[in-house]
Structure 1
Amino acid sequence: MEQGHRQVGARCGQHSLLLRQDLDGALCQGGGGRVIAKAAPWKKDRVSELAEILSGDGIVGIVDISGVPAGNMLDMRSSLRDQMTMTVAKKTLIKLAWEQAGRSEVELEQLFEGAAQPCVVHSESLNAFELFAELEKTRQGRVAKEGELAPVDIVVEKGPTEFGPGPIVGEFNAVGIPAKIDRGKVAIQRTVTVVNEGEAITGDLGIMLAKLGITPIEIGLILTGAIEGGFVFPASSLKLDFEGFRNDVMTATSGAFNLACNTRWFSTATVPALLSKASSEAMAVAIEAGVVNDETASMLVARASARALAIAGQLDSSALEGADAAASDAADLDAGAEAPPEEEEEEEE
């Protein structure tokens, strides 16, 4: 059949006919040797539906849904229904719709990279980065099946399990997971890498990993790329470190504020800080200059007291006693200076 199709394509000399063979299914021979493609109605409807979506406003992306079980797919689509539409179709149908919408085939080929089973997503409420973030939330693990390749090193950690004594101990050991009975429970004796990245997972190992709650095969709606405003965004350019980005913005904002304050750039954001800084500097100058007013008096007294205590702390006891004696003598002299006038008055009497 395939060879016959190639012969028909060579005879007609039209590449588009070959493309539509995949769309329409079987070919039929018309009168006069004409070859007419017999279209499947549902395929035409799907192409028209896709072309209408691709011709509208908003963002368009391609998602790889390979490996996603039907049940999981329904749940994912249900959770995203309010934010985007998802249309599953073969690559051939998507190409035809893309062509009808007047979009660049080169852009489509870029979006198809990495999409084994493509699905068209469309949203008028999200931008490319928001679309990527929402689709990333659908990532989840599932049980490994016979022959599937490990996406990363699969490690079983040391520690107790929820299983009681029984044949399961031997089942764990049979697949390379060292287990024993410890305090009435099955425990993993040591941390072990049971499968290295890229190696095939056996069926028995997948079952035992599932019993431990290890689901190594990641599934989800994986965005391979999106087109917004005429620009193609590969998925790699849409993955942002939001926490790091937030920290960078905070650091930049703080640096800009400090620079504005240091250069005395007046704005609604910097005026309160600049006034506070000016007030503090004016107070410091007044204290150093010994300017006494209602605001500085208490600070000057406190500073004088602190300095006096500091000096007193550096003197020995004899010096302090001498200071006390000098103070006492000074007091006696003051008293004696006031006494003579009283004696003279007595002599006169």
Structure 2
Amino acid sequence: MIRQAHVAQWKREVVSDLTRILKNNKVVAIVNVGNIPAPQLQQIKKRLRGKAEMVMARNTLINIAIEEVSKERQGLKPLKDLVGGQCALLGTDMNAFKLYREIEATRTRSAAKPGDISPEDIVIKEGETPFKPGPIVGELQKAGIPAGIEGGKVVFKKDKVLVKKGEKIPAEIAKILPKLDIYPMMIGLELMGVFEDGIIFKKDDLAITPDHYRSMIATAARNAFSLSIHIAYVTPQTIGPLLARAYREGVALGVAAAFPTKDNIKVLLAKAEANMLALASRIPGFEDERLRQRLTTVPAQQKPEELKAEEHKEEKKEEKVSEEEAAAGLSALFG
């Protein structure tokens, strides 16, 4: 007879609790809880109360629960790959993006301890410091910081990377960093991955500001509107600017071809008079008394390029729309 291995009752209860969270929550996540002081961990749990449920357990038990529930929830099994270190399972009805922001809000800066892995490059910049000359100069130099005294002040002589991202922080540097008001370590929950609607989201997938997609849609709408105007694609949103542009271009063509219509006759007459006055001003003795009076009272004729610039500016002004109007018309532009 084969004897079954005895499984402690507490382990069964933990796996049962983890299984419940995996089954009953729309969104589940693996979070790293390592190196969080007990008082701060209690504050985090208090912050999440009513928003999410978190259970800390051994990684083997979390994997067993994931393996069991993955038979019912498609796409859940890859979450096992994110279990490592000191982890906890978190369940919530918040969507993945809201959960990411909630977890990031639990993280605060703290001083580094000797041997900690730096999460970022630790850099000091050339320039003055708030320190007065004294033993501090020796401490800085011992930590490998290029410090000196200039003009009665302690200064850093050049920029320097003290510790690169991913490297261990030496004891001498860890000791001096708080005096430089540098707190490189982040204390709080670290999101390893989130499962929602059959998809696993990594931390970097969720690090998006709330207005990111809204801004992208508004930009797409503006670009689509500009394209439709450029190619004369008619929609309820573009018909007004297109008709206005067609009218302006028609009037401009009529003026250029000296083809009189009721819309451009005044422009043609004004252009003819301006040309006549310009010609008269360039031929000495040609003008009569009436022309002399006109030349002294009429403003100087605008240059052709100035007229074109004004036309272009006016066209741009009429075609400009607000972000709201552009966004509202995006779907209409393309069906």
Match in the other structure for 1:180: 148
Paired residues for 1:314-333 under 5 Å: 315=282, 319-324=283-288
Match in the other structure for 1:63: 31
What are the superposed Cα offsets for residues 113-146 of structure 1, whole Å, 9 maximum, x if unpaired? 26311122222132x2343344344444321111
Of residues 266, 272, 278, the one that matches 1:304 is: 272
What are the superposed Cα offsets for residues 262-303 of structure 1, whole Å, 9 maximum, x if unpaired? 45443332222223223323332443444353x545433442
Q: Secondary structure at the match of 1:173?
A: helix
Q: Extract unaligned runs of 5+ from structure 2.
A: 293-335
Give the aligned residue type for 2:86: Q
Q: Secondary structure at the match of 2:130?
A: coil
The answer to whether the 8 Å contact 1:61/1:227 transfers is yes
The answer to whether the 8 Å contact 1:115/1:224 transfers is no
The answer to whether the 8 Å contact 2:63/2:83 transfers is no
- Answer yes or no: is 1:115 the counterpart of 2:84: yes
CA RMSD of aligned residues (A): 3.6
1:249 deviates by 3.6
The separation in 2 between residues aligned to 1:301 and 1:111, in whole angstroms, is 82
From the superposition, tell whether residues 106 and 247 of structure 1 become closer, same or farther in structure 2 (CA, over 3 Å): closer
1:50 deviates by 2.7
Paired residues for 1:148-167 under 5 Å: 148-167=116-135
Work out the number of aligned pairs and report it. 290
From the superposition, tell whether residues 71 and 159 of structure 1 become closer, same or farther in structure 2 (CA, over 3 Å): farther
The answer to whether the 8 Å contact 2:32/2:191 transfers is yes
1:176 deviates by 1.3
From the superposition, tell whether residues 92 and 105 of structure 1 become closer, same or farther in structure 2 (CA, over 3 Å): farther
Match in the other structure for 1:345: none
Of residues 229, 235, 238, the one that matches 1:261 is: 229
Match in the other structure for 1:346: none
Higher CA-based Rg = 1
Give the aligned residue type for 1:61: A
What are the superposed Cα offsets for residues 81-130 of structure 1, whole Å, 9 maximum, x if unpaired? 4643333222233234435645569844544426311122222132x234
The separation in 1 between residues aligned to 2:236 and 2:210, in whole angstroms, is 29
If asked which structure has higher relative contact order (CA below 8 Å, sep 6+), I would say 2
1:46 deviates by 4.1
Match in the other structure for 2:307: none
From the superposition, tell whether residues 220 and 50 of structure 1 become closer, same or farther in structure 2 (CA, over 3 Å): same
The answer to whether the 8 Å contact 2:163/2:169 transfers is yes
The answer to whether the 8 Å contact 1:144/1:215 transfers is yes
- Answer yes or no: is 1:142 the counterpart of 2:106: no
Between the two proteins, what is the percent identity of the paired residues?
32
From the superposition, tell whether residues 308 and 208 of structure 1 become closer, same or farther in structure 2 (CA, over 3 Å): farther
1:208 deviates by 0.7
The separation in 2 between residues aligned to 1:130 and 1:220, in whole angstroms, is 17
Q: Secondary structure at the match of 1:224?
A: strand
Match in the other structure for 2:304: none
Q: Secondary structure at the match of 1:281?
A: helix
The answer to whether the 8 Å contact 2:28/2:91 transfers is yes
The separation in 2 between residues aligned to 1:57 and 1:263, in whole angstroms, is 50
Q: Secondary structure at the match of 1:194?
A: strand
What are the superposed Cα offsets for residues 150-175 of structure 1, whole Å, 9 maximum, x if unpaired? 34432211222222333222211221
Match in the other structure for 1:277: 245
Q: Extract unaligned runs of 5+ from structure 1.
A: 1-9, 25-38, 329-349
Of residues 154, 163, 170, the one that matches 2:138 is: 170
Give the TM-score taking structure 2 as reference length.
0.70
Give the TM-score taking structure 1 as reference length.
0.68
The separation in 2 between residues aligned to 1:258 and 1:311, in whole angstroms, is 42
Match in the other structure for 1:234: 202
| Structure with a larger share of its residues in helix | 1
The answer to whether the 8 Å contact 1:99/1:105 transfers is no
From the superposition, tell whether residues 114 and 193 of structure 1 become closer, same or farther in structure 2 (CA, over 3 Å): farther
What are the superposed Cα offsets for residues 167-216 of structure 1, whole Å, 9 maximum, x if unpaired? 22221122111223445543222222223444432223212111111122
Give the aligned residue type for 1:59: V
Give the aligned residue type for 1:201: I
The answer to whether the 8 Å contact 1:111/1:225 transfers is no
